[in-house]
Every structure is written in C-alpha cells, then in structure tokens.
C-alpha cells in the first residue's frame, strides 16, 4: 500500500532527538526557544510562540484577541473540524461562510455578508497551501487569525504569511510540510498578542518555591523533543519543496488529460505551499463519484484522503447549530474533493504508481 502522506524523516531527526534526550531537556527548553527564533526569521515575523498543537495555536490566538462568550467568529466550512472547535472552546459561535468555486477558500463577499455587531474575528483557512484572499478580509476592519496549518511556505502576493494578520497559526503535525509529530506555532507582529499567548500557554513560575500566575492558562507548551525534530525539518524545507513541486508537476500533466478530474486552482500571484494535491472528481465527466474513486484506488493499493468534508454538515455542528444556512459551493466541493499521495518521502516512482492507478481507474469508470 502506498501511504498517503508519510513523514519524511531520517537519521538527522533521530540524532536530534537522541541529543535532546541526553541533554536532560524533555519539556520546553532551549530547543523550543531556538525553534521560535528560527521560525520568526523564516517567516519574517516579530514574534513566534511554540505550542502543543496547531489546534492550541488557534485556540490561544482567539483568546489572545479577546474572543469569548457571546461573540461570533466567521470561518470556512472546508477545513478540519479543529478550526471550528476552537471557536466553540473559546465560548463563541462559529459562523460558516461559503467558499470560492476555484480553490475552496473563503469567499470574501460571503464573509462580508455575514458580519454583524457580534462578529469578533475572522478565521480564514489557507486550504492545501493556497493562501486565501486576505486583502478584502482585512478591509472589513476586524481581527484576523489565519489557519495556516497547510501553508508554512506560502506567500500571499509576495509576502510570507506570519506577520500579515493579527495572528497566524501553523501546525507541526506528522503529515505537515514541517513535521514534528505534534506541535504548533503562532506568528504575530502584535506584541500584545504575543504577551497574551505567553501567559496562556503555560503557568508562569518564579524562582524556587515562589511562583505566580497572571491568568488561569492552559498546558499548551511544546517539548524540546518535538522542537528538535521541527528544527531539522525546518532546515530541509527548501529541499522538500523541490520534491513536492516535481511531484505536483507530474500530477498536473496526468490529470490534465482526464475528463471530470481537476485540481484545485493555484493563484499565480501567490506561492502555494503544495501541502496537498487535491482534485475534484465530478461524476458526470469522471464516470463515478469521489467515494467510488477512493474505494477503487484503495483496491489499487493507493492511499488517499479527503480535505475536507464540510464542517457544518458533521453531526456535532449540524445538531448544535441547526439554523446554519446551506452553503452550496462548500457542499458540492466537499462531495468531490480527493487528495492524492504527496510527500517528500515519496519517490518519483511512487507518484508514477499513483498516476498509473488513477489512469486505470478513470479508464474503467469512463469505458
């Protein structure tokens, strides 16, 4: 079975973990601090704070800008549920806006139509590594917290993500382009946001037996063991990007010949992180549904995934927020998207195998 997105780790990461274990630092220490410094340099951001997960990054960022009970936060339904979950955890209400047909990122016009006096923030998602259109969101004069879990290498109109909005949140999960297994990072140019996150992510301690806290915070710090892996991965980011770009080009060439199968749009004005290769499978041209393609590819020993099922249709949100208006573009896209194998751990031959299997399945369904 060709794994969908295996982590690209090697002897360097193993050595970094061993060195960290021998150092005596298991929890947050010098490697976490170094990761914050190096990631801030990479993103050209004033502040970066390392936390336990991408979910924690989003949660603490919302709290840091003052989101709480009675507030609304507008976000995308085409995302992993954590993006909406953190809004609920903050005591606020998620308001789902529809997405654009081409890339399934938030539709700024749909967002603008949903702004009310209760709207506290906007939480856009850079799906698959394609930056969403931020400028019209900033124009709404509301705080913006970016979910950049897929977008560590992305640039929006030539500028790196990280210092553009009130906060930008990254993930170090096992499948991400910079993978530590778990972990997250918050980038911001706002000193007040950075200070608030610093207080929220871990109780502040004094010297010896004396300690104090300024807020009832969370246990959301990143361990040095995971930071050590992330530091090695950050050093490989350009090499891995070259591999991803080569594999995406192979997919593009193959998919261009397949009726009913089309990749999500990539805006040439931006730098796409190429975290995922997502295609839309339209049954009228492709001869079968997305689910049928996924099952058929599994039979061909090709792992795939779905990014994403619309959050507002999942049981927890469908039952808790029954008055959510239909989101036709998101609902149609959620039924068609399929992510093909993409990882720098894959060889060119692996991608060729995935393409050959897709061609065979397409030929069978369209015969």
Q: Which residues are catalytic?
A: 176
- Residue 221 per-residue DSSP state: B
Q: Helix 237-255 crosses helix 348-366 at what angle (to 10 degrees)?
A: 20
Could you tell me the CA-to-CA distances from 201 to 13, 89, 233 in Å, in that order?
26, 15, 23
**Contacts of 251 by beta carbon, 8 Å cutoff, 6+ apart:** 263, 277, 340, 342, 351, 355
The H or E element that residue 199 is part of is helix 191-201
Please choose, from the candidates 332, 293, 320, 317, the residue with its C-alpha nearest in 3D space to the C-alpha of residue 99: 332
Using CB atoms within 10 A of its CB, is residue 359 exposed (0-12), middle (13-18) or buried (19+)? middle
The dihedral formed by the CA atoms of 258, 275, 298 and 302, expressed in degrees to the nearest 10: 80
Contact 193, 63 (CB under 8 A): no
What span, in angstroms and rounded, lies between the C-alpha atoms of 197 and 45?
15
């Amino acid at each position: 079975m060709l794994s969908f997105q295996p982590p690209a780790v090697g002897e360097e990461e193993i050595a970094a973990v061993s060195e960290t274990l021998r150092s005596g630092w298991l929890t947050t220490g010098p490697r976490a601090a170094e990761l914050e410094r190096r990631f801030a340099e990479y993103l050209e951001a004033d502040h970066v704070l390392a936390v336990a997960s991408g979910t924690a990054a989003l949660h603490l960022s919302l709290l840091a800008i003052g989101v709480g009970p009675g507030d609304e936060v507008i976000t995308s339904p085409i995302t992993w549920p954590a993006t909406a979950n953190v809004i609920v955890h903050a005591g606020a209400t998620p308001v789902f806006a529809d997405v654009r047909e081409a890339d399934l990122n938030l539709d700024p016009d749909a967002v603008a139509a949903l702004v009310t006096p209760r709207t506290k923030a906007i939480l856009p998602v850079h799906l698959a590594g394609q930056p969403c259109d931020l400028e019209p969101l900033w124009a709404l004069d509301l705080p913006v917290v970016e979910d950049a879990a897929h977008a560590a290498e992305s640039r929006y109109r030539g500028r790196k993500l990280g210092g553009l909005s009130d906060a930008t949140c990254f993930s170090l999960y096992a499948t991400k382009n910079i993978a530590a297994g778990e972990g997250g990072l918050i980038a911001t140019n706002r000193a007040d946001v950075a200070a608030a996150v610093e207080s929220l992510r871990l109780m502040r301690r004094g010297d010896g037996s004396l300690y104090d806290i300024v807020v009832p915070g969370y246990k959301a710090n990143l361990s040095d063991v995971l930071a050590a892996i992330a530091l090695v991965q950050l050093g490989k980011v350009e090499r891995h990007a070259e591999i991803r770009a080569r594999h995406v080009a192979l997919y593009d060439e193959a998919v261009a010949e397949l009726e009913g199968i089309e990749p999500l749009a990539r805006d040439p004005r931006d730098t796409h992180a190429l975290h995922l290769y997502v295609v839309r499978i339209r049954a009228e041209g492709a001869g079968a549904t997305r689910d049928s393609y996924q099952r058929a590819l599994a039979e061909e020993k090709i792992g795939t995934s779905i990014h994403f099922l619309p959050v507002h249709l999942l049981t927890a949100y469908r039952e808790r927020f029954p008055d959510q208006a239909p989101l036709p573009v998101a609902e149609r896209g959620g039924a068609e998207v399929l992510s093909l194998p993409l990882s720098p751990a894959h060889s060119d031959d692996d991608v060729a195998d995935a393409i050959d299997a897709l061609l065979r399945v397409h030929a069978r369904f369209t015969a």
